[in-house]
Amino acid sequence: MKESTAKYYELLHEIQQVDFALVELNLYLNTHPMDQQAIMQFNELVQRSQMLKKNFESMYGTMRNFGESFSPTPWSWSNTPWPWQV
C-alpha cells in the first residue's frame, strides 16, 4: 500500500470510529435523555468529529454535501472515490 493511501485510510478510520460512537450515543440518549455524562461525551465527540472532518477535507476534498462543508476551487464534491470504491 502506498504511503498516501495508508494515510487516507488512517484518517478515514479515525472519523469512522468517532462517528460510530456518536451514532451509538445518539441512539442511547433517545431513550436515556437524562444521562448527563453521556451528553457530555456526545458533545466532546461532536467537536472531535468536526475537527477530524475539516482536516480530512483539506487533504482529500469535500466530504459532506448540500452546504455542510465549504468548497475549494475547483468543486471537489463529485470527485471519486465514492465510499464503495475505497
Q: Are 35 and 29 in contact (CB under 8 A)?
A: yes
Q: Quick check: 26 binds another protein (CB under 8 A)?
A: yes
Q: Quick check: 38 binds another protein (CB under 8 A)?
A: no
Member of 5, 6, 27, 43 binding another protein (CB under 8 A) = 27
With cell 500500500, the residue in question is 1
The b-or-e profile of 55-79 (16+ CB within 10 A means b, else e) is ebbeebbbbeeeeebeeeeeeeeee
Q: Quick check: 22 binds another protein (CB under 8 A)?
A: no
Which of 68, 25, 31, 71 has its CA nearest to residue 46? 25
Q: Quick check: 75 binds another protein (CB under 8 A)?
A: no
Q: Quick check: 16 binds another protein (CB under 8 A)?
A: yes
Which residues here bind another protein, judged by CB under 8 A?
12-13, 15-16, 19-20, 23-24, 26-28, 30-31, 62-66, 68, 82-84
